[in-house]
Chain A
Amino acid sequence: MSQAMDDKTQLGFWIYLMTDIVLFATLFATYIILHHNTFGGPGGSELFSLPFVLLETMILLTSSFTAGLGLLAGYQGRKQAVLTWFAVTFALGAAFLGLEIYEFAHLVHAGHSWTASAFLSAFFTLVGTHGLHITAGLIWMATIMWQVFKNGLIPPVKRRLTMLSLFWHFLDIVWIFIFTIVYLIGGEIHG
């Protein structure tokens, strides 16, 4: 495929990401509006552990960084480096997802599931949608790594690699706002 076609494909994917931003915006708006409606139950400050969330944040941020280095190695045609960096990214992404599932399970076991209040419905929908994106990203990453391993850095594989890292950086940017709005502002700051 020519360079012009590559650019078009990338722009199409970029526009998908922009519409995904709007999806997340509606979920953020819902959360911000409902986060006081705890139906008599505990609010964010009692439920969230900030050091735990900081750890999640740092893991995802580092994975966004290593994805960038992986893409760079792709442009330089260093196949082994691509596989190594994306293996690191995958491991960090899986660790992040594991921590998130742990947090969700912990909340549900303590009786704070999405059915407990409007606040928790909004919380699980917003953070869960992000987690679902991470899950999809991990599956995608595994298939692309397989393609790099099997076919080498041929142009179509490079193009997919570019879009995968766009997607991964995008997910980290969404997480900055989840970290800030849901956990820092919603969980810890008291009036």
Chain B
Amino acid sequence: MAKNEKPNYAPRSTYITGFIISVILTLEAYFLVVREALPYWILIFTVFALAVIQTFVQLFFFLHLDSESKPRWKMTTFLFAGLVVIIVVFGSLWIMTNLHYNQEKSYSPEEIGKYIEEEEAIYR
């Protein structure tokens, strides 16, 4: 670490700023959803974006990822974990939405059971 030994020693104001921004972002997402202020997909995208922004606010203001010193191993491992998360989540969604019966929300439990038996030869 740096010359004087204070690894994660951030001033109190950092925590207060991070906390206030997080509260504002949380309330913003909450009220956007409760009032259904935007069309479906735009609302989902906006609310998700607010969550991502809050994540970075907390990573910087609470976890001080920005003030890490040179080799930046924490940032490296974080970015790698982020890559794995994106592959796992979006890869799973991609594959599963391609499965036909999973797309049909209007099937009753009986119909889904029948469909699985007939189309995929999986019996109870």
A and B are interacting partners: yes
Q: Which of A22, A69, A184 contacts B12 (CB 8 A)?
A: A69
- Say yes or no: is A139 at the interface (Cβ < 8 Å to chain B): no
B62 to chain A, nearest CB (A): 5
A184 to B29, Cβ gap below 8 A?
yes
What are 21 of the A-B contact pairs (CB < 8 Å)?
A3-B7, A18-B80, A21-B81, A22-B81, A22-B84, A28-B89, A29-B92, A33-B92, A33-B96, A61-B26, A62-B19, A65-B18, A68-B18, A172-B58, A173-B55, A180-B29, A181-B51, A184-B29, A184-B47, A185-B33, A189-B33
Residue ranges of B at the interface with A (Cβ–Cβ < 8 Å): 1, 5-10, 12, 15, 18-19, 22-23, 26, 29-30, 33-34, 36, 40, 43-44, 47-48, 50-51, 54-55, 58-59, 62-63, 73-74, 77-78, 80-82, 84-85, 88-89, 92-93, 96, 102, 105, 108-109
The 8 closest A-B pairs by CB, nearest first: A18-B81, A29-B92, A180-B51, A25-B85, A65-B19, A68-B15, A33-B96, A169-B62
Q: Given contacts A61-B26, A180-B48, are A25 and B84 in contact (CB under 8 A)? A: yes
- A188/B33 in contact, CB under 8 A: yes
> Which A residues form the contact surface with B (CB < 8 A)?
3, 6-7, 10-11, 14-15, 18-19, 21-22, 25-26, 28-30, 32-33, 36-37, 39-40, 50, 54, 57-58, 61-62, 64-65, 68-69, 71-72, 75, 162, 166, 169-170, 172-173, 176-177, 179-181, 184-185, 188-191
On whether the beta carbons of B26 and A58 are closer than 8 Å, the reply is yes
Q: What's the least CB distance linking B76 to chain A, in Å?
A: 10
Cβ B23 vs Cβ A61 within 8 A: yes
Query: Complex formed: what's the CA distance from A170 to B8 in Å?
Result: 15
| Residue of B whose beta carbon sits closest to that of A73 | B12
